[in-house]
Amino acid sequence: MIRLVEWTQSFVAPEEIELQQPFVETAHRLLEQRSGAGHEFLGWMDLPSSFDPIELQRIKEAGQNIAKQANLLVVIGIGGSYLGARAALHMLQHSFHDLLPREQRPLQVVFAGHQMSATYLAELLELLDHYEVAVNVISKSGTTTEPALAFRTLKQYMEQRYGIQGAAQRIYATTDAKRGALRKLANEAGYETFVIPDDVGGRFSVLTPVGLLPLAAAGIDVDALLQGAKRAQSELRESDVRKNPAYTYAALRQILRAKGKAIELFVTYEPALHYVGEWWKQLFGESEGKDGKGLYPASADFSTDLHSLGQFVQDGARTLFETVIKVKNPRRSLQIEEVADDLDGLNYLAGRPLQQVNDTALEATMLAHQTGGVPTILLELDDMSAASLGYLFYFFEKAVAVSAYLQGVNPFDQPGVEMYKSNMFALLGKPGYENQRERLATMAKV
Ligand code: PA5
């Protein structure tokens, strides 16, 4: 479902990968024996094979229920509590899903609570009256400010429009089993709730109700998604760095980092994979970027960004390498037609599939960038199906866990995210943050 096709061997020789074997073996053992840093968050490893069928059925039924009640689902969440669903919808739905005739898109999904823009939320509220609305509020901690603020506003809207009871039937909460303000609120209001397992961290939670409920509501085949992930779970068990592509990828990243590369550019040639890039950035950025270590994860959509970032990639500071995702069998095909006058001079391409041109752009760009001193890793995804995406999710989750262990960091915490939050609370005057507020007052205008 995902294959590591090649990498630039003039930058990393196969023997260098083999030299990583003892380190990869150790990282593999830390994962398998559940003895590494953050081992209490390894629930994602077995999720695809051990998903409770009764819970999965309940998710699917709630999804069907949402689709009956509403034609607009607002998914409230941030970071790991929204990026997986967004990536999946963007990849699996029609490229112009939002513009299709209503009967071809019975349920539309929009996101909120992933920033605090007043303009965004106010304009979303304006939109809601034109739709029948349901809300899925997602927060593992149940206390994150961005989704909590958005939910406060949307809850009020829903209660005013549908009444307290009516709103409660249209609001679905995905959160911790016991802890957090959202759990308390959901229990009191009588919302249908879904649990994010204790041992699955936010950015590893796409295959829990966090991702599955909005996807089921949108009519995505969640069984196929889980099946693909299950296949990855069984195929990516091998500890041999040469035989396990997730580990080869992890080792390559580690070697390139040791050789001075600081930025990994995740490149796709399918716009539908744009949010897979966003999901990937969060997964790698939050899992690895700590203790002064990690590769800065960036993403680009080619060939679009070849006309913006391309100059830098080809010719700028030599600090990056590329991980390119090629889709082997994209969803659609289109032939380039011959035209009589050939005024645009493109008849030399007539009769060829447009995809061939896209693939040639990929090949040509990789060669150009390699010549310019940018190593590339080429991964090939079979197609744009739910099963392949499930496989991809699991592949990168496994790869990042091993990558982080190879660098000696805990893949499953995110201490660096806290500082902006406590500064913001102090500056906003949240009780308990008075001392910090005083300290910050000397640095910022409050
Ligand atoms: O990966 C993570 O843990 C984070 O990105 C969280 O998903 C994000 O901060 C949202 O947290 P929560 O679901 O608790 O609101």
| Residue with more model confidence, 441 or 66 | 66
Query: What range does the domain containing 298 cover?
Result: 2-36+228-407
Return the minimum-mean-pLDDT range out of 28-42, 147-161, 183-197, 416-430.
Answer: 416-430
Among residues 188, 220, 252, the one where a domain terminates is 220
Catalytic residue, candidates 68, 363, 421, 438: 421
Q: Pairing state of beta strands 108-112 and 72-76? A: parallel
CA distances 187 to 134, 190, 194, 406, Å, are: 18, 5, 11, 42
Q: How far is the CA of 416 from the centre of ligand 1 (A)?
A: 13
Q: How confident is the model at residue 327 (pLDDT cuts 50, 70, 90)?
A: very high
Ligand 1 atom nearest 144 alpha carbon:
15
Is residue 337 part of the annotated active site? The answer reads no
* Cα(81) to centroid(ligand 1), Å: 6
Distance from Cα 414 to the centre of ligand 1, integer Å:
9
pLDDT for 446 beyond 60: no
CA 231 to chain centre: 19
The Cα–Cα gap between 91 and 45 comes to: 23
Q: How many domains does the chain have?
A: 2
Predicted confidence (pLDDT) per residue in 93-110, tens digit: 999 999 999 888 889 999
Instruction: Please tell me if the CB atom of residue 193 comes closer than 6 angstroms to any atom of ligand 1.
Output: no
- Measured in Å, residue 201 CA sits from the centre of ligand 1 at 8
Maximum distance among all alpha carbons in the chain?
Answer: 76
Question: Is residue 421 a part of any domain in this protein?
Answer: no
pLDDT on residue 439: 86
How much is the pLDDT for 272?
Answer: 98
* CB of 398 closer than 8 Å to CB of 232: yes
Domain co-membership, 77 together with 8:
no
Mutate to test the pocket of ligand 1, among 40, 44, 78, 183 (most ligand atoms within 8 A of CB): 78
Q: Ligand 1 centroid to 253 CA: how many Å?
A: 25
Claim to verify: residue 151 and residue 256 sit in the same structural domain? no
Q: Is 233 in the pocket of ligand 1 (CB under 6 A)?
A: no
**For 291-385, where are the alpha helices, taking DSSP H only?**
310-315, 354-371
Residue 445 has pLDDT above 70, yes or no: no
Confidence of residue 46 (pLDDT cuts 50, 70, 90): very high
Distance CA 256, CA 135 (A): 44
Shared domain for 246 and 194, answered yes or no, is no
Question: 182 alpha carbon to ligand 1 midpoint, in Å?
Answer: 14
Which residues, including other chains, have CB under 8 Å from residue 67's CB and lie 6 or more apart?
A: 106, 107, 217, 218, 219
Give the model's pLDDT for residue 385.
98
What's the confidence (pLDDT) of residue 104? 87
* Separation CA 18–CA 36 (nearest Å): 23
Within 260-379, residue ranges assigned H as helices are: 274-288, 310-315, 354-371
For Cα atoms 56, 105, 205, give the angle at the middle one, nearest 5 degrees.
35
Expressed in angstroms and rounded, the spacing between residue 311 Cα and the centre of ligand 1 is 35
311 in a structural domain: yes
Output the residue whose Cα is nearest ligand 1's atom 3.
202
Do 133 and 15 share a domain, yes or no?
A: no
Residues 48, 168: one domain? yes
Residue with tokens 């390559």: 252
CATH assignment of the domain containing 154: 3.40.50.10490
Residue 159 and residue 233 in one domain: no
Residue 81: CB within 6 Å of ligand 1? Answer: yes
**66 and 213 share one domain:** yes
Per-residue confidence band for 440, with pLDDT thresholds at 50, 70 and 90: confident
Quote the CA–CA distance of 154 and 98 in Å, as a whole number: 21
* Domain contains 74: yes
pLDDT at position 230 over 60: yes
The tens digit of pLDDT for each residue in 52-83 reads 999 999 999 999 999 999 999 999 999 999 99
Residue 26 lies in a domain: yes
Average pLDDT over residues 322-326: 98
- Tokens representing residue 74 in the block: 């607002």
Is residue 195 within 8 A of residue 176, CB to CB? The reply is yes
For residues 297 and 278, the answer to whether their CB atoms sit within 8 Å is: no
Cβ 80 under 6 angstroms from ligand 1: yes
Closest residue by Cα to atom 8, ligand 1, is: 79
């309940």: which residue's tokens? 58
Q: Whose CA is closest to 69, among 204, 185, 199, 171?
A: 171
The one catalytic residue in 264, 270, 286, 322 is 286
Q: What is the structure's pLDDT at 419?
A: 85
Distances (CA, A) of 138 to 19, 77, 104, 159, 347: 43, 5, 27, 18, 52
**pLDDT mean across residues, the chain:** 96
Q: Are residues 29 and 78 in the same domain?
A: no
- Residue owning tokens 């999720």: 47
Verify that 7 and 89 share a domain, yes or no: no
In a domain, residue 412? The reply is: no
The pLDDT value recorded for residue 441 is 80
Q: Is residue 337 part of a domain?
A: yes
pLDDT band at 444 (very low <50, low <70, confident <90, very high): low
201 lines ligand 1 (CB under 6 A): yes
Domain boundary among 189, 220, 251: 220
Kindly report the pTM of this predicted structure: 0.97
pLDDT at res. 18: 97
430 has catalytic annotation: no
Whether ligand 1 lies within 6 angstroms of the CB of 209 is answered as no
Confidence of residue 421 (pLDDT cuts 50, 70, 90): confident
Q: How far apart are CA 402 and CA 136, in angstroms?
A: 32
Is cis: bond before 35, omega within 30 of 0?
A: no
| Residue 424 domain flag | no
Q: Which residues contact 93 (CB under 8 A, 6 or more apart)?
A: 218, 220
d(CA 322, CA 102): 39
Q: Per-residue pLDDT tens for 137-187? A: 999 999 899 999 999 999 999 999 999 999 999 999 999 999 999 999 999
Global ipTM:
0.98
Regarding the beta carbon of 230 and ligand 1, being less than 6 Å apart is answered no
Ligand 1 pocket member 140 (CB < 6 A): yes
Do both 277 and 390 map to the same domain?
A: yes
Tell me the best of 137, 144, 213, 288 to mutate to test the pocket of ligand 1, counting ligand atoms within 8 Å of each CB and taking the most: 144
| Selected residue with higher pLDDT from 408 and 443 | 408
Tracing tokens 């506003």 back to the chain, one arrives at: 153
The pLDDT value given to residue 275: 98
CA 282 to ligand 1: nearest atom = 5
- Cβ 141 under 6 angstroms from ligand 1: yes
What value does the mean pLDDT take over residues 290-301? 97
Phi, psi of 7 (to 5 degrees): -145, 170
Is residue 241 a contact partner of residue 17, using CB atoms and an 8 Å limit? yes
278 in contact with ligand 1, CB cutoff 6 A:
no
Residue 255 has pLDDT above 90, yes or no: yes
Cα separation, 366 vs 374, in Å, equals 9
In a domain, 416, yes or no: no
Query: Which pLDDT score, from 0 to 100, does residue 288 have?
Result: 97
Token pair, residue 181, equals 């303000």
Pocket test for ligand 1, best of 140, 151, 193 (most atoms within 8 A of CB): 140
Cα separations in angstroms, 44 against 197, 433, 435: 9, 35, 39
Indicate if 106 and 14 belong to the same structural domain. no
Share of the chain above pLDDT 90, in %: 91
pLDDT tens digits, 348-379: 999 999 999 999 999 999 999 999 999 999 99
CA distance 246 to 252: 10
Show which of 166, 190, 220 is a domain's final residue. Answer: 220
Same domain, 16 and 54: no
Does the pLDDT value for residue 31 go beyond 80? Answer: yes
Residue 183 CB–ligand 1 contact under 6 Å: no
